[in-house]
Structure 1
Amino acid sequence: MKWLRNMIRLSKNVWANKVMVLLTVSLLGAAFFITAIGNVQPETYEIERFSIAPETIRSPVTIENEEETERKIREVVQSVEDRFNVSNDITDEQTAYIEEVFDAVVTMKQSQRPNDVSRTLDEDTTEPLTSEEQLAQLKQLLRPEITESVNDGVLYELLHTEIETLEEGKELLINSVTEVMEDGVRTENIQEAISEVEQTIQFSSFDAEMKSSLTELSHFVVAENSFFDAEKTSEARKKAASNVDPVVIRAGEVIVRQGQTISNEIYDELALVGALDSRQNKFPVIGLALIIFLVMLIMVYEIGIFEKNKDKDIDRSKLGAIFFIILISLLFMKAGSLYATSVNQLYFAVPVATGALLVKLLLTERLAIVQSMLIAILGSILYNGQIPGSLNVEAGIYFFFSQMAAVIFLGRATDRLAVLKAGIGMSVMNVLAILTFLFLSIEKYSLSDIFMQSGYGVIAAFLSTVLTFGLLPFFETGLGILSDYKLLALAKPNHPLLRKILTEAPGTYHHSIMVANLSETACESIGANGLLARVGAYYHDIGKTVRPQYFIENQMTDNNPHDTIQPRESADIIISHPYDGADILKDHKFPQPIIDIAGQHHGSSLLKYFYFKEQDKNKHTKEEDFRYPGLKPQTKEAAVICICDAVEAAVRSLKEPTEKKIDELVASIVKERLMDGQLNECPLTLKDLDKVHQTICETLKGMFHSRIQYPIKEAK
């Protein structure tokens, strides 16, 4: 039933861990929502007509002012003139009347010479035709429409005019009438057309009688020939209406400035964009919730990848680090958004790369990259100028490049100078990104503007570096996060505990150094944390300083104190050293992974020497009394140190450590630890164990390589 209890305990731990992850991500989602809600939900105002605007109000949305658009369309349609069809047939018909009158008169004058214009009284007597008779004869030649409309006096005058004058008058009248009627004569402008013809006649060189006749004829021939075309007019109006651009109020457009009077037009625009509506629009809130939900899904997935890569459940300290780092980045961006405008672009100075630096230093590079993308997305919302429905893509891209520069230029942190180098790289990347935005813009920037905005990028990099230095101790100490910087500090030879081992247990110190070398190379071969393994190996036997003389590597003489005590008592002393070491490390506030390595590096293995020694005396000796109480190694690093600790001690006992002997020894120790169940609770695979075996052998072969035997010169 023990295995069942272990399974239940493991299941409880897994579910508790998942709940903790979901709770952390949910709290971050709530923080995102609270900080960004003002950027997607438009602010409303209580303003009366003809009051004074308390502040400058911008449109929160892009919307068409349909009423204003309709008004413009009506104005344009009304300004479209009616379309008319000009009838050329009427023009030809009217000019034909002119030709008929003049041709008839000329024909009469040519066929009836002065001596022919007479009538026969008898066979020998003739009498000339009177004017009335000539007029009557002329009327017989003309159409009724002409004779009914044209005054007889006009015809009479034409009958008494010279043919040459008639031809000239005919040409003048036809040309002027045609010119006027080609443009179209409507009912409302017929008098204007007649006046135009009359004016042309009056400026001619004819005598008064001829001008009067031509004028009278113009009254007859100038007629309406342009008629309203409803279809063309309708098409023209539709075309004009379609060319009217909609009146659109753009998001961010100033509707009223502070101190300006709220006119009816301004009030209507405020109402249109929803600035006066106390009812909140739910759709932007839903959209924000959806994007935050997507961000939360990605975060949960990445935390799962982080756990998988680390081969263990994420602990509270790391979740706390993720929570506080993202929250700090969010607060930095929100604080900057309160002062940033489209003019000053203060988001260039926001130290958003601080989060990326901290995540890479304390957790993993992959998590830092993913966080950089998510923070960039949220930054594009926070810097949208509080215009719902819009994103500041420029700010998002800048934040992404700035954070990626932090991740890339930080590289592998071997000391704190790495952060300073990353700060220089971030400065260059920030300035390049800013210059890119400036050069892509169609606006013209002065040299001072370029330097000022580039300076913002340098400031952001500087602040990110300083804040990283300032916040890193908080996460290392307050949350117990073990960073490479912390490990490097613990690995310094002048550390008090390392000096304690060196002075009080020098053999143990040398043993720890050898185990550290083996463990680091072995861990790196399987993708584990080699630096953690090295530092853990330095301190794994710190418990031996409690009673150093009871451990063989510290015995400088042949006097072994175990020879004077019982095997059971000796076993108790030996078995206590991992836990004494864990207590010492706890007292000195060491990181938990180092404490765990010290307490787990022997697991629940058996002290064979003293067990068999006691068994020789007492056949009923229990094996459990000579086993370490555990825990067994829980991590790859602790398991590798468990193997390397045994290997190093065993190899030192070899008189002639050949390659074959070393290989067989390492294989036997690995097999023994595996068969004894000491590696059951760690994430090492058989493939990992094979790599560890090969790496340890290669390292030991380098340590115990063959040396040239120099000849010794005998003294004479």
Structure 2
Amino acid sequence: MRRYLTIIQNKMGKLYIPILLLIFSIVIFFILYSNLKPRVLDIELYQVSDETIRAQSTVEDLEKTIENRQVAADNVAPVYSYNADLNSVQTEKIHLLFATVKETNKLAEEQYQEAVKDEKSKADLNEKEENKTLAIVAKRLTPKEKLSLFNAKLINNDEETKEFVNSLPEWSVLELLGAAEGIANQIEKATTKTLSDVMSTSIRVDELSKKKQEAISSLDYWEFTADQQRVASLILDNSLIENNVYNDQVTQKQRESAKASVQPALILQGQVIVQEGHVVDSNVIKQVKLLGLLDNKSSYHLFYSLFLLLLAQALVLFYLGKTKKDSLLKKGQELTLYVLAMTSTLLVLKGLSLMQESGLANISLLFPAALAPIVLTTFSSRRYGIVSNGFLVAFSLFLFRENTGSNSTFILSLFYLFSGMMGTMITKKRIVDQFLNTFMWVSFFNALFIGSLIFYLNLSFFSSDALLISLFALGSGLISYFLAVLFSPYLELLFTDNAVLTLMKLENPANPLLKELVIKTPGTYHHSLMVANLSANAVGAIGGDALFARVACYYHDVGKLRHSLFFVENLPSGMENPHNLLTPYESRDIIFGHVSEGVKILKEAKIPQSIIDICAQHHGTTLMKFFYIKAKELDETVQESDFRYPGPKPQTKEAAVINIADSAEAAVRSMTKPTKETIERFIHQLINSRMTDGQFDECTISIKELKIVEKSICEGLNGTFHSRIEYPSLDDKNLNKSNA
């Protein structure tokens, strides 16, 4: 099946994913179509309804809501606020007025003194005309002349101050410019004190005239001339303003708050619009129109909603594939798995929805919501599991939208969401190896959720409804796990090349390649069995795929079938080693050849690629030391790289372990008298040398895992190459003595 899928993908190329997404979206549309068809009511005003009509969704009566909110806003009284800051603002304007007057007078005086100084300088040149010169030129500016200086200074003030000063008549400013400094200070003091006293209390608009009159009257207590009092009165009249003003911002805020406090006028889901046998009035017609049950066009919003949801799903899936660094073939396989998982689970969900509509209450809780997330997380990635969970919940809203009158659809979706989320928390291993982690978590969560649901619905724990709900929910967890276990081997066959069923088939000694190994290379076969035992135990100890490691070891040396006698384990006892007749380079090529020939043989036998990769990687790029040293003895210029295996280096943990176990088993077998200490020392040195040589740089095995592997392989070899009792020979003489 996997082979056919690969052929289809290769033929379609880059078009495979877009076409698959399109077909998948169309399939989902047809699965959900019957739940989307518009339902148009045939009712007329002032006619008797032939059915009880309920709201299928919660909608807002916007017209009524706006009306209620406007009434609430109109009932809010205008807000007036006392602004104490206006006192200091208006007082500051008076201070700035007098400060400008003082600066103007100071500047005029400076100009006068400068003129006097100039005339004195001229007088030094002509003493006779000194008095005449001073009398003609040096004179102070008049208030009228100072006015231009005053206006120039006024420009530097803020707009409000300029507006305040410009509101005063020109004669009042001239009066201030011509007044003595002491008089100006008195006017400033009188006006600011009076203004501050009056504005320290609340002043409304209707009280402003009275307050101004009182303020102006209080100036009678100051010793001013008539003109000075007129100026002070004008200043007070223009600076005194109301400080208890209408606060538009607060008023609007309170009105908006009043509007917001009014709840929307809702037609609630499940609400009875009209009962069977009752007359349809104008209010019923209005509510039915709002629900879209009289307009065929308005009922198509569900189709638009589903279209956007399908588009979102397609874009998310396309993005997931785009961001992954896998091959196009791998991306297509993962998407195919997603499509199969989602389609099958949606069909199950569709069936349950039909059963629930026929009268089987709460049967939808039996849906295995965690199935698709478990399968996708295991065989693809957790991201695909999470995406499937989210869209499955979204599609369920369409399937169960007819369940009106309660929050059942919402509760059901929550149950699916969290149950599926538990399914995505499994680790990426074989499902059958994760019983506690998968089944227990999903079932435990379902039990807690259902307990919460029973309390929420105010049901008795021992009522028939509660027991049925609990049974369905727990059954959902059971079904999710056991269906995942049931389909797991077949999904592995479809989407992985190291499926359990495939490995078990390859593990069978009746396999043609293994039979050929037994017959032609019995030593290599025995070596492979030993390496398989060592590797499987070590890989299992670090959480890897032990079965795959074992089977891969059976086939890792099939290349030795080509020149079996050139490998020492296959050499009959007493036969001369054929390498003695060859040069180091010829021997090297034969030894190297068992890797490349093995890959070729495995490909011809259509063995899974993952096992072929182990064959290619089991020596990495290690140095063939024996023949390298022999070549070095003949030629000092020989390069080390000429005697290194072509690789590649181990790419997986399993390949790294097999790399170690293969060398360890062969080396220990060649020892004359292996002891526990010598075996452990050798294995430790072997692993360290491989690490130093960078053989494990391209796989994810850690130092901690290598220590576990070292311990496991040492235990395995110590158990195999243990000490044996050397039995003494009994000659005839000793035998006679013993008989005597």
**Shorter-chain-normalised TM-score: which range?**
0.5 to 0.7
Cα distance in 2 between the residues matched to 1:658 and 1:519: 21
Within 5 A, what are the aligned runs for 1:345-364? 345-356=362-373, 358-359=375-376, 362=379
CA contact (8 A) 1:325 1:355 kept: yes
1:459-479 deviations in Å (ceiling 9; x for gaps):
868976786577445532332
Q: Cα 1:699–1:400, aligned 2, differ >3 Å: closer, same or farther?
A: farther
CA pair 409-615 structure 1, distance change in 2 beyond 3 A: closer
| 8 Å CA contact retained: 1:59, 1:273 | yes
Match of 1:595 among 612, 620, 624: 612
Shift in CA distance, 64/679, structure 1 to aligned 2, threshold 3 Å: closer
Q: Is the 8 A contact 2:374 2:385 kept in 1?
A: no
CA distance in 2, matches of 1:625, 1:635: 25
Residue 517 (str. 1) matches residue 546 (str. 2) = no
Q: TM-score w.r.t. structure 1 length?
A: 0.55
Once the 2 structures are TM-superposed, how far is the Cα of residue 561 of structure 1 from its aligned partner? 3.5
Partner Cα separation in structure 2 for residue 260 and residue 445 of structure 1? 39
Question: Which residue matches 1:59?
Answer: 55
The question of 1:269 aligning with 2:254 is answered no
Letter in 2 for 1:273: L
Q: CA deviation at 1:650?
A: 1.2
Give, in whole Å, the separation in 2 of the partners of 1:68 and 1:674.
78
> 1:656 is aligned with what amino acid?
K
Q: Note the C-alpha offset of 1:401.
A: 7.8
Q: 1:283 to 1:412 in 2, by over 3 A?
A: closer
Q: 2:558 aligns with which of 542, 559, 574?
A: 542
Corresponding position of 1:641: 658
Instruction: Tell me how far 1:512 sits from its aligned partner.
Output: 1.8
1:505-545 Cα offsets, whole Å, 9 max, x none, are 22222222222233234334444433332332232222223
Look up the SS of the partner of 1:510 in the other structure: helix
Greater shift, 487-496 or 368-377, is seen at: 368-377
Distance 1:498 1:421 in 2: 37
Q: Distance in 1 between matches of 2:398 and 2:502?
A: 35
Aligned length: 519
Equivalences for residues 235-634 of structure 1 within 5 A: 249-253=267-271, 255=273, 264-276=282-294, 278=297, 317-318=333-334, 320-322=336-338, 324-334=340-350, 336-337=352-353, 340-341=356-357, 344-356=361-373, 358-359=375-376, 362=379, 374=390, 377-378=393-394, 381-385=397-401, 392-396=409-413, 398-399=415-416, 441=457, 468=484, 471-472=487-488, 474-484=490-500, 486-488=502-504, 490-493=506-509, 495-559=511-575, 560-617=577-634, 621=638, 623-634=640-651
**1:42–1:701: structure 2 CA closer, same or farther, 3 Å change rule?**
same
Quick one: distance in 2 between partners of 1:24 and 1:552?
55
Distance 2:23 2:605 in 1: 34
- CA 55–336 in structure 1, closer or farther in 2 if over 3 Å, else same: farther
Q: Deviations over 1:424-461 (max 9, x none)?
A: 99999989987986787457999997898788679868
Tell me the SS of whatever aligns to 2:493. Answer: helix
Structure-2 change in CA distance of 1:26 and 1:445 (3 Å): same
Distance of 2:303 and 2:536 partners within structure 1: 53
* Aligned residues of 1:523 and 1:530 also touching (Cα < 8 A): yes
How far does the alpha carbon of each residue in 1:536-572 deviate from its partner, in whole angstroms, 9 at most, with x for none? 2232222223433322112223323334445434333
Equivalent residues of 1:61, 1:387 under 8 A apart: no
Change in Cα spacing, 1:253 to 1:608, as seen in structure 2 (3 Å) is same
Deviations 1:238-292 (A, max 9, x none): xxxxxxx998532144657999997655432221223345358989989997999
* Cα pair 1:350 1:460 within 8 Å, conserved: yes
Contact persistence 2:377–2:426 (CA under 8 A): no
Consecutive unaligned residues in structure 1, runs of 5 or more: 1-18, 73-244
Q: Contact 1:25/1:296 (CA < 8 Å) preserved in 2?
A: no
Partner Cα separation in structure 1 for residue 653 and residue 304 of structure 2: 46
CA deviation digits over 1:172-196, x for unaligned, max 9?
A: xxxxxxxxxxxxxxxxxxxxxxxxx
Distance (whole Å) between structure 2 residues aligned to residue 39 and residue 617 of structure 1: 84
Structure 1 pair 411–528 and aligned structure 2 pair: CA distance change class (3 A): closer
- Going from structure 1 to structure 2, the CA distance change for 1:611 and 1:448 (only over 3 Å counts) comes to same
Give TM-score scaled by structure 2 length. Answer: 0.53
CA deviation after TM superposition for structure 1 residue 603, in Å? 2.0
Contact 2:560 2:598 in 1 (8 A): yes
Cα distance in 2 for residues equivalent to 1:654 and 1:326: 58
User: Does 1:651 pair with 2:651?
Assistant: no
CA distance in structure 1 between the partners assigned to 2:52 and 2:508 by the alignment: 61
Task: Provide the secondary structure at the position in 1 that maps to 2:686.
Answer: helix
How does 1:148-187 map onto structure 2 within 5 Å? none
Native 8 Å contact 2:683 2:710 kept in 1:
yes
CA contact (8 A) 1:636 1:682 kept: yes
TM-aligned CA deviation for residue 319 of structure 1:
5.7
Task: Report the CA distance shift for 1:255/1:471 in structure 2 as closer, same or farther (over 3 A).
Answer: farther
C-alpha distance in 2 between matches for 1:462 and 1:360: 18
Q: Residues 494 and 672 from structure 1, CA distance in 2 versus in 1: closer, same or farther, beyond 3 angstroms? A: same
Letter in 1 for 2:268: R
Question: How far does the alpha carbon of each residue in 1:85-115 deviate from its partner, in whole angstroms, 9 at most, with x for none?
Answer: xxxxxxxxxxxxxxxxxxxxxxxxxxxxxxx
Unaligned runs of 5+ in 2: 1-13, 69-262, 736-740
Change (3 A) 1:659 1:403: same
Asked if structure 2 preserves the Cα contact closer than 8 Å seen for 1:39 and 1:384, the reply is: no
2:521 alignment partner AA: A
Cα pair distance change 1:463/1:590, threshold 3 Å: farther
1:414–1:684 distance in 2 versus 1, CA, 3 Å: closer
Alignment of 1:100-139 (within 5 A): none
Moved more, 642-651 or 36-45: 36-45
- Call closer, same or farther: CA 1:58–1:573 in 2, change over 3 Å: farther
Pick which of 693-702 and 537-546 moved more: 693-702
Aligned amino acid, residue 268 of structure 1: K
Q: Structure 1 residues 443, 697: closer, same or farther in 2, change over 3 A?
A: closer
- What SS class does the counterpart of residue 619 from structure 2 fall into? coil
Residue deviations 1:305-325, cap 9 Å, x none?
x99xx9xx9866456535543
**Cα deviation, residue 385, structure 1:** 1.9
* Residue 638 of structure 1, CA deviation: 1.0
8 Å Cα contact 1:362/1:482 also seen in 2: no
Q: Indicate the percent of aligned positions where both proteins have the same amino acid.
A: 31
> Take 1:621 and 1:71, find their aligned partners in 2: how far apart are those partners?
97
CA deviation digits over 1:665-698, x for unaligned, max 9? 2233223333434333222344444443344334
| Separation in structure 2 between the aligned mates of residue 31 and residue 326 of structure 1, nearest angstrom | 13
- Contact 2:459–2:466 (8 Å) recurs in 1: no
Shift of 1:573: 2.7
CA contact (8 A) 2:400 2:409 kept: yes
For residue 81 of structure 2, what is the aligned residue in structure 1? none
State the AA in 1 paired with 2:518. Answer: L
Deviates more, 1:45-54 or 1:290-299: 290-299
**Residues 336, 347 of structure 1: 8 Å contact kept:** yes
